[in-house]
Amino acid sequence: MNKTVLKLRPSDYWRIGEHESWFQDMAAKGFHLKKMGIYFAHFVKGEPKKMRYRIDVLMKKKISPEQIEMYAESGWDYVTGYQFFKVFSSSEELDAQELYTDPAEQSHTLKELDKKLAMNASVIAVSMLLMIGMFTSIWFLDGTPTLVLVEGQAIQQTILTFFIGYLAYKSLQAAIFIRTLRKNLIKGKPIDHHAPWEKLFRRNSTIAFLFTLVVGLSIILPVLHLVKGDTKTLPEVSLDLPIVRLADIEQNPALVRGEPAYMSDNVDWANRYTYDWSPFAPVQYKSDENGVVPGESWKDGSGGYSPSIETRFYQLRIPAMADNLIFDLIKWYRYEDPFEDYVKTKHPNFDLLIIHEEEELKEVFASRGKYVMHVRYHGYANINSVIENVEKKIMGRGVGNCVPLDKTIRKR
C-alpha cells in the first residue's frame, strides 16, 4: 500500500503556474498529488516520474463524469480540485496536447472568477474599513492608548484586526493577480507552467506561520485574564496589597464601613479589590473603599461624612511606559477639570509625581521604576497623607530605600 504524505501547500491558491510547477517538481521526487486540503496537499509516495500538471478553472465546485471523460480523451487525467481550480495530470511520455492552445480562449475561463474575486475584495475592503474604525476608536477615542495597552483587554482585538487586514490584503492580491493573468491571456501570453515557486513558498509559509502563532497566542489571552484575575470584597483588616486603605488616610478610630450599596456574586462593589494580568502589566490592582464617620457631616450639609478612596496599581513589564501611563490616567479621570489643575511636584522617591486637589477631592499620580500608582481620595484628610501612603506602598515593593521626606518639596 502506497504511503500518503502531507506537504504544506503554497498559500496563494490563485497562482496557477506556480502550483503546476510545484506539482511537477514533487512528482519528479516521487510525490504524486492525490488531494488538496486547506493547508496541506496530500501526495502518494511512489516512483519518481516526469509528469505534467495543468489547472483549469471551472466555476462549479464539482466536476461531472462527462467532463472528466472529455479531458481523459485528450490525455489528461483528473486528479483533484480545490475551490474553483481543477487539477489534471499527464505523463510527459504521452505528449498530450495542451488543454488550451489559444491563450485568448483560456482567458474566457477566468471571466467569472475575475468578477467573483473582485466582488469578494470589495466586500472585504469595506469590512476592513469598519474594523479599522473600531480599532481606532478602541485605542484613540479617549486618547489613552498606553492605558488600553497596559490593561490588555484590546490586545486580542488588535491582533485579530491585523490578521483580518492580512486576509483582506491577500484577497485584493488574488483579485489583481487573476485580472492581470486574464489580460495577459487576452494579449496572447500563455501561462508559465514552470513558474518558480520556491522563494514565494518560503516567504508565504513564514508569514502564515507567524500569523498563526500570534493569533494562537492571542486566543490564550482571555483565558489568562480569567485565570489570573478576580474580584473580592475588601476585608476591613489590612491586607499586604499595593493599595492605599481609607483608615490609613483618615486616621480616625471612629471610621466604620457603611452598609453595602451594591452586592453581586457575593462581592461588595463599594468595598472591593480586583487583581488582574496583562502581557504589559503582569500585576494590576484596583480597589474601592467607602466609609462612614458617625456623628460627623460634610461641611456643605449634604449628609453624614462618608469618605472614600480608589486605588489603581500597575507593575509594568516595560518601565519606560510609566510616564505615558500616568498621563493617560489623568486624561481618563480628569473629566472636565483643566490640565493646569494637575501639578507636577518634585519628590526624591518618585520618578514622577503629579497631584490634583479640589476641595474634598485629592488625587495622586506617582511612578517609580516599573511601578505606577493612582489614588483618588474624597474626604478631608490632607493630601500629604495620601502622598505618604502611596510612597509606603511603592517603596514597599522592593524598589530601594526610602529617602527622608522634605516637607517643603510638597508645596505646590
- Measured between alpha carbons, how far is 143 from 141 in angstroms, rounded to an integer? 6
- Measured between alpha carbons, how far is 94 from 9 in angstroms, rounded to an integer? 27
**8 SS3 class:** strand
At 404 the pLDDT is 37
Residue (of 96, 112, 114) closest to 54 by Cα position:
96
Alpha helices in 187-287 (DSSP H): 198-228, 246-250
At 403 the pLDDT is 39
At 9 the pLDDT is 85
Look up residue 280 and give its DSSP letter.
T
| pLDDT beneath 50, residues of the chain | 399-412
At 1 the pLDDT is 56
Pairing of strands 77-82, 263-264: unpaired
At 347 the pLDDT is 95
pLDDT single digits (tens) 271-322: 999 999 999 999 999 999 999 999 999 999 889 999 999 999 999 999 999 9
Residue (of 351, 336, 338) closest to 390 by Cα position:
351
Pairing of strands 343-344, 256-257: unpaired
- Cβ neighbours, 10 Å, residue 388: 17
Residue 403: in which H helix or E strand, if any? none
AA identity, residue 148: V
At 396 the pLDDT is 81
AA identity, residue 66: E
- Measured between alpha carbons, how far is 17 from 10 in angstroms, rounded to an integer? 12
First vs last C-alpha separation in the chain? 86
Q: Are 309 and 374 in contact (CB under 8 A)?
A: no
- The alpha carbons of the chain give a radius of gyration, in whole angstroms, of 33
At 267 the pLDDT is 93
